[in-house]
Amino acid sequence: MAEKRNRKNNAGRFEKKELPGKNPMMPRNGPFNLLLIAGVIITVMLLVQQLTPRVDTLRYDEFVAHLRDGHIEKVVLSETDISGQFKQEWAASKGQKAAKEFVVTYRSGGVLDDDLKKLLSEQIEKGGLKVEQSKERVWLWNLLGMLFPLVLVGLFLYLMFARNLRGGAGGMLMSFGRSKHRLHDKEKVKITFEDVAGIDEAKEEVAEIIEFLRNPKKFQRLGGRIPRGVLLVGPPGCGKTLLAKAIAGEADVPFYSISGSDFVEMFVGVGASRVRDLFKQAKDSSPCIIFLDEIDAVGRRRSASFAGGGHDEREQTLNAILVEMDGFDTDDQVIVMAATNRSDILDSALTRPGRFDRQVVVPLPDLKGRMEILRVHAKKVKLGPDVNLERAARGTPMFSGADLAAIINEAALAATMANKDFIEGADLEEARDKVRWGRAKKSRVIDQKEREITAFHEAGHTFVQSILKEADPLHKVSIIPRGPMGGATFALPEKDRTLFTRKYCMALLQVCFGGRIAEEMFCEDISSGAQSDIQQATRIAKQMVLTWGMSEQLGPVSYEADAGLAETFYGLPPEKEYSEKTAEVIDSEVKRITDEAFNKARELIEHNRDSVERIAKALLKYETLDAEDVNIIIAGGSLDKPTVADLLAVEQAKDKKTAEEKK
Mean pLDDT of 635-657: 75
Cβ count within 10 A of residue 296: 20
Q: Which residue has the higher pLDDT, 319 or 98?
A: 319
For 337-347, give one letter per residue: b (16+ CB within 10 A) or e: bbbbbebeebb
pLDDT tier, 13 (very low <50, low <70, confident <90, very high otherwise): very low
Phi, psi of 373 (to 5 degrees): -65, -45
Domain limit, last residue, from 328, 361, 394: 361
Residues 207 and 353 in one domain: yes
Nearest to 543 by CA among 531, 516, 561, 530: 561
Q: Is residue 171 assigned to a domain?
A: no
Residues 460 and 382 in one domain: no
Residues 288 and 256 in one domain: yes
**Confidence (pLDDT) at 354:** 80
Residues 418 and 461 in one domain: no
Beta-bridge partner residues of 423: 383
Q: Is residue 564 assigned to a domain?
A: yes
d(CA 284, CA 140): 57
Amino acid at 325: M
Domain limit, last residue, from 437, 463, 483: 437
Instruction: State the DSSP H helix or E strand holding residue 334, giving kind and residue range, or none if neither.
Output: strand 334-340
Sequence-distant (≥ 6) Cβ neighbours of residue 91 within 8 angstroms: 98, 99, 100
pLDDT digits over 501-538, tens only?
A: 999 999 999 999 999 999 999 998 899 889 999 999 99
Query: Quick one: the chain helix, strand, coil %, rounded to 5?
Result: 55, 10, 35
- Residue 232 reports pLDDT greater than 70: yes
**Confidence (pLDDT) at 311:** 53
Residues 512 and 460 in one domain: yes
Q: Which residue has the higher pLDDT, 507 or 318?
A: 507
- Residue 44 reports pLDDT greater than 80: no
The most confident of 111-115, 429-433, 507-511, by mean pLDDT: 507-511
Q: Which residue has the higher pLDDT, 495 or 378?
A: 378
Residues 323 and 402 in one domain: no
**Confidence (pLDDT) at 557:** 87
At 82, is the secondary structure helix, strand, or coil?
strand
- Residue 495 reports pLDDT greater than 60: yes
Half-sphere exposure of 77 (CA within 13 A, CB side): 11
Q: Which residue has the higher pLDDT, 182 or 480?
A: 480
Give me the CATH number covering residue 265. Answer: 3.40.50.300
* Helix ranges, 327-442 (H): 348-351, 367-378, 389-394, 401-417, 425-437
Helix axes 531-542, 502-522, angle to 10 degrees: 150
Nearest to 594 by CA among 498, 530, 528, 522: 530
Amino acid at 180: K
Mean pLDDT of 345-350: 84
Mean pLDDT of 121-135: 75
Q: Is residue 143 assigned to a domain?
A: no
- Residue 377 reports pLDDT greater than 50: yes
Give me the CATH number covering residue 98. Answer: 3.30.720.210
* 250 touches 193 (CB < 8 A): yes
Residues 288 and 377 in one domain: no
* Helix ranges, 70-103 (H): 88-93
d(CA 455, CA 624): 10
Q: Which residue has the higher pLDDT, 262 or 317?
A: 317
Q: Is residue 152 assigned to a domain?
A: no
User: Which residue in the list 294, 458, 519, 589 is annotated as catalytic?
Assistant: 458
Give me the CATH number covering residue 425. Answer: 1.10.8.60
For residues 194, 195, 201 and 204, what is the CA-based torsion angle, rounded to 10 degrees?
Answer: -50
pLDDT digits over 554-593, tens only?
A: 888 888 776 554 444 445 556 677 888 988 999 999 999 9
- Give the least confident one: 8-12, 201-205, 610-614, 633-637: 8-12
**Confidence (pLDDT) at 280:** 84
- Residue 284 reports pLDDT greater than 90: no
Side by side, which strands form the sheet with 255-259? 182-184, 255-259, 288-293, 334-340, 229-233, 358-361
Beta-bridge partner residues of 485: 482
* Helix ranges, 70-107 (H): 88-93
- Residue 9 reports pLDDT greater than 50: no
* 430 touches 440 (CB < 8 A): yes
Q: Is residue 626 assigned to a domain?
A: yes
**Confidence (pLDDT) at 184:** 61
- Residue 137 reports pLDDT greater than 50: yes
**Confidence (pLDDT) at 565:** 47
Q: Is residue 388 assigned to a domain?
A: yes
458 as an active site residue: the answer is yes
Nearest to 583 by CA among 525, 522, 542, 532: 542
pLDDT tier, 411 (very low <50, low <70, confident <90, very high otherwise): very high
Give me the CATH number covering residue 545. Answer: 1.20.58.760
Residues 344 and 292 in one domain: yes
Domain count, the chain: 4
The percent of residues above 70 in pLDDT, for the chain, comes to 73
**Confidence (pLDDT) at 297:** 80
In angstroms, how far is CA 60 from the centroid of its own chain? 69
**Confidence (pLDDT) at 264:** 65
Phi, psi of 631 (to 5 degrees): -65, -40
At 74, is the secondary structure helix, strand, or coil?
strand
d(CA 257, CA 290): 6
Residues 357 and 212 in one domain: yes
Q: How far is CA 337 from CA 261, 330, 390, 527, 630, in A?
A: 16, 18, 34, 51, 51
Residues 334 and 466 in one domain: no
pLDDT tier, 185 (very low <50, low <70, confident <90, very high otherwise): low
**Confidence (pLDDT) at 16:** 38
Q: How far is CA 568 from CA 347, 352, 546, 571, in A?
A: 11, 20, 21, 6
Cβ count within 10 A of residue 195: 15
d(CA 11, CA 5): 10
Q: Checking DSSP bridges between strand 101-104 and strand 56-58, what pairing results, if any?
A: parallel
Q: Is residue 76 assigned to a domain?
A: yes
Sequence-distant (≥ 6) Cβ neighbours of residue 407 within 8 angstroms: 374, 392, 396, 399, 428, 431, 432, 435
Q: Which DSSP letter does residue 44 get?
A: H
Cβ count within 10 A of residue 179: 23
Q: Is residue 15 assigned to a domain?
A: no
Residues 618 and 489 in one domain: yes
- Residue 145 reports pLDDT greater than 70: no
Mean residue pLDDT of the chain comes to: 77
Q: Which residue has the higher pLDDT, 517 or 100?
A: 517
Nearest to 262 by CA among 279, 280, 275: 275
At 661, is the secondary structure helix, strand, or coil?
helix
Residues 457 and 382 in one domain: no
- Residue 408 reports pLDDT greater than 70: yes
d(CA 455, CA 522): 11
- Residue 189 reports pLDDT greater than 70: no
pLDDT tier, 3 (very low <50, low <70, confident <90, very high otherwise): very low
Q: Which residue has the higher pLDDT, 185 or 28?
A: 185
Cβ count within 10 A of residue 391: 14
**Confidence (pLDDT) at 331:** 60
* 398 touches 412 (CB < 8 A): no
- Residue 175 reports pLDDT greater than 60: no
* 481 touches 510 (CB < 8 A): no
Domain limit, last residue, from 361, 384, 404: 361
* 592 touches 447 (CB < 8 A): no
Q: Which residue has the higher pLDDT, 76 or 444?
A: 76
- Residue 176 reports pLDDT greater than 50: no
The residue segments making up the domain with residue 328 are 178-361
